[in-house]
Amino acid sequence: MNTLDLNFPELVRDKSYINGEWVGSQRTFDVYDPATQEKIATLPDQDPEVVDTTIDAAYDAFKEFKKTSPRVRSRLLRKWFDLMTEHTDDLAKIVTWENGKPIAEATGETKYAASYFEWYAEEAPRMYGHTIQPSNPKNRAYTSLEPVGVVSIITPWNFPIAMITRKAGAAIAAGCTVVVKPDAQTPLSCLALAFLAEKAGIPKGVFNVVLSATKVPEFGLKLCKNKKSKKISFTGSTNVGKILMEQSSSSLKKCSFELGGNAPVIVFNDARLDQAVAQAIATKFRGLGQTCVCANRIYVQSGIYDEFAQKFANAVLKFKIGNGFDKATTHGPLINEKAIEKVESHVKDAISKGAKVIVPGGRIPELGPNFYSPTVLTNITNDMRVCSEETFGPLGALIKFETCQEVIDMANDVDYGLASYVFSENVNTVHLVSEALECGMVSCNTGIFTDAAIPFGGVKESGYGREGSLYGILDYTVVKTVTIGNLSLEN
């Protein structure tokens, strides 16, 4: 295994983590740096049967862990947070190494990831129930929130550390135990978290990591079918989410899904233009467009359309594409060849239907096979694929609109509803458009809104359930009702 220049090299692990033990296997898979294509790790490619073994361990651990007090779980999460904070620089390097994003962005993700442990350390003692007076005056009732049980967590590659903490933090705060299956392209961040969990004193079997690159569908099936696992939490594509939902129906698991998006950015004539451009750039090209909440369709009202397009293009031309470890780099590589091919297919489709190229973009072979300079197109129309499909890459698609109702109709005319963005200085416009948009989250006059304190999730085919905030812990609990009947004041 290659090593980074880390202050604490032990953070780079080469085995899975099951029931407090580091476990290998005869079959292995390799992890590659998307920027250099160099092999950076060789990890166990485990058999699907390991899922059942791991869930058994998590189930046994749950029997005791659910009895711990919320304050005990709070202290464990706080210690985990402290360790993440102590090792922020090293964790960020691992993120950049396996994901490719610039080191500054990876540092931001690591701090954001740690904030979920801090948040849920504070939320754990606040799992309140209610006292209820039933219609029968001789009865009393109360509710309590109880942990759902073993939670199976499946995470993507685009936020290799934050996607884990905002799920596992809530689950452990609630008293659940977890089995994590990270993406095989970016497993090292998850394993580093497991190492810190061990150092934080997280009990054996509470946080487990299983690994596979060649048996991913089989792993998913096992996680969904095993009756000892009571919940699936998945972030990824809508198509995979539907498969997992169907598979989970056999045991009626509780599910929460954060799936595909097709986020509209809506810029009205009265918006602060420079701010709107800067924030649209921020949401469109964070992770070079490889985020679920990034702008996919950028609607600009006709009165400022041309000026917005020019400023937007000028900003994109200032990007510095390169290796994420170069401090001058503003944007790193895409994750793989398939990601580039999708961007190219959307660009080709749009141009064939009349789109105008104002920033050509394209591959940068001198940097490596996964590097792609952003493309910006104007004259986008609704019949183009970019309007109905998520690009998940560096394509800025600018669409002109005239009226408020017109843009609301266009923005809602998709199967997805994760995030939307509205830019206007008119409070009436902000309120009414926000209410009219069919999505789980609306960000007004800012392109970056995610925070541990804010509920994150979508509607329609973008999934259901919420992560973060006071609501996030509820997805890892069940409500128990206790009724006491036939009370009497007589002795």
Structure confidence by residue, pLDDT tens digits, 365-407: 999 999 999 999 999 999 999 999 999 999 999 999 999 999 9
Does a structural domain hold residue 1?
no
Residue 3: what pLDDT? 62
Query: Within this chain, do residues 270 and 251 fall inside the same structural domain, yes or no?
Result: no
Query: Within this chain, do residues 233 and 309 fall inside the same structural domain, yes or no?
Result: no
Predicted structure pTM score: 0.96
Query: Within this chain, do residues 337 and 426 fall inside the same structural domain, yes or no?
Result: yes
Which residue carries 């004193």 as its tokens? 201
Q: What's the rounded Cα separation, in Å, for the pair 265 and 422?
A: 6
| Percentage of the chain exceeding pLDDT 70 | 99
Closest by CA to 411, choosing from 260, 262, 259, is 262
Strand ranges in 382-448 using DSSP code E only, listed in sequence order: 395-401, 416-417, 419-423, 441-444
Q: What's the rounded Cα separation, in Å, for the pair 270 and 274?
A: 12
Does a structural domain hold residue 488?
no
Phi, psi of 190 (to 5 degrees): -65, -40
Residue 259: what pLDDT? 97
Query: Within this chain, do residues 251 and 287 fall inside the same structural domain, yes or no?
Result: no
Which residue carries 């609301």 as its tokens? 408
**Three-state DSSP state, 355:** coil
Query: Within this chain, do residues 248 and 280 fall inside the same structural domain, yes or no?
Result: no
Tell me the C-alpha to C-alpha distance, in Å, between residue 369 and each of 2, 65, 337, 359, 470: 21, 47, 7, 20, 43
Does a structural domain hold residue 484?
no
Range 75-80, long-range pairs (CB < 8 A, 24+ positions): 75/121, 76/172, 76/200, 76/201, 76/202, 77/117, 77/118, 77/120, 77/121, 77/124, 77/169, 77/172, 77/173, 78/117, 78/118, 78/121, 79/200, 79/201, 80/117, 80/196, 80/197, 80/200, 80/202
- Cα angle vertex 19, ends 17, 25, to 5°? 45
Query: Within this chain, do residues 308 and 205 fall inside the same structural domain, yes or no?
Result: no
* Residue 430 near residue 423, CB atoms below 8 Å: no
Does a structural domain hold residue 22?
yes
Residue 233: what pLDDT? 98
* Per-residue pLDDT of the chain in tens (491 residues, 90 and over written 9): 446 899 999 999 999 999 999 999 999 999 999 999 999 999 999 999 999 999 999 999 999 999 999 999 999 999 999 999 999 999 999 999 999 999 999 999 999 999 999 999 999 999 999 999 999 999 999 999 999 999 999 999 999 999 999 999 999 999 999 999 999 999 999 999 999 999 999 999 999 999 999 999 999 999 999 999 999 999 999 999 999 999 999 999 999 999 999 999 999 999 999 999 999 999 999 999 999 999 999 999 999 999 999 999 999 999 999 999 999 999 999 999 999 999 999 999 999 999 999 999 999 999 999 999 999 999 999 999 999 999 999 999 999 999 999 999 999 999 999 999 999 999 999 999 999 999 999 999 999 999 999 999 999 999 999 999 999 999 999 999 999 999 987 76
Residue 491: what pLDDT? 62
Residue 1: what pLDDT? 41
Does a structural domain hold residue 487?
no
Residue 4: what pLDDT? 83
Residue 399, both tokens: 């669409």
Residue 382, both tokens: 């609704």
Query: Within this chain, do residues 140 and 237 fall inside the same structural domain, yes or no?
Result: yes
Structure confidence by residue, pLDDT tens digits, 242-282: 999 999 999 999 999 999 999 999 999 999 999 999 999 99
Does a structural domain hold residue 296?
yes
Q: What's the rounded Cα separation, in Å, for the pair 478 and 349?
A: 47
Secondary structure element (H or E) that encloses residue 155, with its range: none
Options 98, 105, 123, 258, the catalytic residue: 258
Residue-range definition of the domain harbouring residue 442: 263-452
Structure confidence by residue, pLDDT tens digits, 412-459: 999 999 999 999 999 999 999 999 999 999 999 999 999 999 999 999
Residue 53, both tokens: 């073994």
Strand partners, 28: 44
Total of domains in the chain:
2
Query: Within this chain, do residues 352 and 336 fall inside the same structural domain, yes or no?
Result: yes
How many other CB atoms sit within 10 Å of the CB of residue 320? 11
Does a structural domain hold residue 138?
yes
Query: Within this chain, do residues 205 and 227 fall inside the same structural domain, yes or no?
Result: yes
* Contact partners, residue 454, CB within 8 Å, separation at least 6: 441, 468, 469
Query: Does 258 qualify as catalytic in the annotation?
Result: yes
Residue 73: what pLDDT? 98
- CATH of residue 85's domain is 3.40.605.10
Phi/psi class of residue 454: alpha, beta or left (left: φ > 0; alpha: ψ in -120 to 50)?
A: beta
Tell me the C-alpha to C-alpha distance, in Å, between residue 222 and each of 60, 121, 235, 244, 251: 18, 30, 17, 10, 12
Does a structural domain hold residue 2?
no
Query: Within this chain, do residues 333 and 430 fall inside the same structural domain, yes or no?
Result: yes
Query: Within this chain, do residues 447 and 469 fall inside the same structural domain, yes or no?
Result: no
* Residue 445 near residue 279, CB atoms below 8 Å: yes
- CATH of residue 361's domain is 3.40.309.10
Query: Within this chain, do residues 318 and 220 fall inside the same structural domain, yes or no?
Result: no
